[in-house]
A and B are shown apart, each in its own frame.
Chain A
Amino acid sequence: VPFGSHYVILNLYLCSAEYPDLRKHNNCMASHLTPAIYAKLCDKATPNGYTLDQAIQTGVDNPGHPFIKTVGMVAGDEESYEVFADLLNPVIKERHNGYDPCTMKHPTDLDSSKIHSGNFDPNYVLSSRVRTGRSIRGLSLPPACTRAERREVERVVVEALAGLKDDLAGRYFSLTQMTDEEQQQLIDDHFLFDKPVSPLLTCAGMARDWPDARGIWHNNDKTFLIWINEEDHTRVISMEKGGNMKRVFERFCKGLKEVERLIQERGWEFMWSEKLGYILTCPSNLGTGLRAGVHVKLPRLSKDPRLNTILNNLRLQKRGTGGVDTAAVGGVFDISNLDRLGLSEVQLVQTVVDGVNYLIECEKRLEKGQDIKVPPPLKYFK
């Protein structure tokens, strides 16, 4: 019996009286949370006491958008993915193109040497970036973590990062203690993250106790950056100007492996499973948690009505250069992989490499007045 569970202590109401009104909702949670599943899970909790109502609160509070389907739920800890599997598995399946955690295994591959043709024409590609997240096993995730746990995440990660050397050597800037000058520099470098304002995150409790135990680490070269205790325990970002995606991915893999080794030396490890890959707060980031992308100039292609189909078939998505939910400016797009789970890091980065090379070819053809072809859709893991 989970201690402190709201429903154990206050067991006055039938589950049906508690079932949320999801009739105006359009998110993955709402699509799959039937009254039967709710009744089955509503009095369950993870060993740390995280409950179903907490997991779905963000989806109840944010009905969604008619065109954009948000996930609508989060995990409070690693065990959430087991305890609430009856809901999370169909959500994962819908979000990740039919990936079935019950029957499938997720491949992890951080061998960057396998990437080929990953150095783009810098006349088109302005910058390259790869990001992911990592969670520290044994500590609750941002929606549920206590202040002590959050501080422990910070301590574990910062200690490990202090062991990085050479091109990865760097410094930590705690949000509670940075000076005004440091803050300004981080803003100018576009590294500083703010307290979340999106209700998708605040309704899930991720902004509690801000800015306690939050901070930013980056290497001296400013090409490897880690956010601590924002939407995940850590967000890891490798980036540089220009089109050398292969080098960005090399640094990414090297840095991740080094950090993993350093935390393992101290008895910690990342949350990972064969079924779900790397475990993160939002089910949309399971698997690789990887978004590899470029800022690329495609002024002619941006006006072509076939662009969205081309992107879709290449398994890519476009965003404005301000990131998610922004518009493209001057024909410059943020192009990145659509998928996260069911394909390895190497596979996803190669997909981006192949896709961006194809888009640049299209742009060059359009420059010469030649026509372009919509490529056939890429086969998926099915």
Chain B
Amino acid sequence: MPFGNTHNNFKLNYKVEEEYPDLSKHNNHMAKVLTKELYGKLRDKQTPNGFTLDDVIQTGVDNPGHPFIMTVGCVAGDEESYEVFKDLLDPIISDRHNGYKATDKHKTDLNFENLKGGDDLDPAYVLSSRVRTGRSIKGFTLPPHSSRGERRGIEKLSVEALTSLDGEFKGKYYPLKSMTDAEQEQLINDHFLFDKPVSPLLTCAGMARDWPDGRGIWHNDSKTFLVWVNEEDHLRVISMQQGGNMREVFRRFCVGLQKIEEIFKKHNHGFMWNEHLGYILTCPSNLGTGLRGGVHVKLPKLSTHPKFDEILTRLRLQKRGTGGVDTASVGGVFDISNADRLGSSEVAQVQLVVDGVKLMVEMEKKLEKGEAIDSMIPAQK
């Protein structure tokens, strides 16, 4: 992200305290970790692509945060950011990801056959199932830093890879800047279309630059596998369908991802991954699996039970409204998904969703019959 950084060397003419941001009213992970001393230590560094400390933290400086919600407050501009700025990012990662240490290793498991069950969530309660993740393409910088040329390169490679898929993955790419009105209308009706980001968390990090250049949406003909190109990450990959067959959703997710990855590898542009941080994405909160597996589930009684939040915490799940993050639930229908991203595998995280949702539906049924659920409340997973 160019702003405030292309003259990083010039900035060094000023003393640390003159450049150090005022974080006295801030409440995000970056502000908790970035002392003046640490700022002084890292401010003359930059990644080989020219991403600097100020680029990493700009979004956190511009968005002080919320008294109750702890945002991350920083982004990576490339794969190397996680190494060059590890003194800042490792403590943030640890804070955000349950004490994950700099020496920990992350397990990747995209073998859907390792998932137990998941094909029998009661469709009377579970309205839809979805798994999403992100992928970054090695050799390119990330959305906060990428130039137009890079973004177009990412798009070109992605379209090549995606349009070569066949069978259940046969589909079509819709570039944002040249879709017809009819196509746009259809994508909106399918709830597939993504908009230019308006959240200042993203815009202050430079992710909306040059919109809609290089951005687009690909989906398969059956509308069960969807890829966003150059939104908040190089790729966001989504598998979904109506009903409760999470197993099938996860199968398609794993198979599709692996097919896509093979094609990128052939072009010497595999996905960014390492054994410590798993899949490398723009926001440190999405490291590891980058996976959010979830369902829309009707839990009108359970959601008003005084122990609902505690149950979710113990199951390592989180709730959102059906509009997604920062929305409220409507009609007792919740978006329930895994809370963790780093330190456990894809299979493990989806397993938690499958088992946890199954349990909560049973609790809901008990409450419908006027029975107590105290004996069903699980131990901390």
Contact = CB atoms under 8 A, between A and B. Distances in A.
A4 B46 contact: yes
B50 A4 contact: yes
Chain A CB within 10 A, most for which of B4, B52, B213: B4
Contact of A144 (B4, B20, B58, B150): B4
B148 A208 contact: no
B2 A202 contact: no
Nearest to A77: B7
Interface stretch (B11-19, B121-129, B265-273, B306-314): B11-19
Interface stretch (B105-113, B183-191, B203-211, B222-230): B203-211
B48 A9 contact: yes
Interface string A189-224: 000000000000011010111101000000000000
B50 A60 contact: no
* Chain B at the A interface: SS class: loop
Contacts of B50: 4-6, 9-10
Interface string A1-28: 0111111011011100111110000000
A260 B11 CA distance: 27
B58 A208 contact: yes
Interface stretch (A95-103, A145-153, A364-372): A145-153
Given A17-B149, A18-B147, A4 B9 contact: yes
Interface in B3-30: 3-11, 14-15, 18-22
Given A61-B209, A151-B18, A209-B21, A50 B6 contact: yes
Interface in B138-158: 141, 147-150, 152-153
B11 A146 contact: yes
Interface in A37-85: 45, 48-51, 53-54, 57, 60-61
A176 interface: yes
B49 interface: yes
A48 B9 CA distance: 9
A17 B46 contact: no
Given A18-B148, A147-B21, A202 B203 contact: yes
B177 interface: yes
Contacts of B49: 6, 9-10
Interface of B: 2-11, 14-15, 18-22, 46, 48-50, 52, 54, 58, 61-62, 141, 147-150, 152-153, 177, 203-204, 208-211, 213
13 contacts: A4-B46, A9-B49, A13-B150, A17-B153, A54-B3, A57-B209, A61-B210, A147-B18, A147-B21, A203-B209, A205-B2, A208-B3, A210-B62
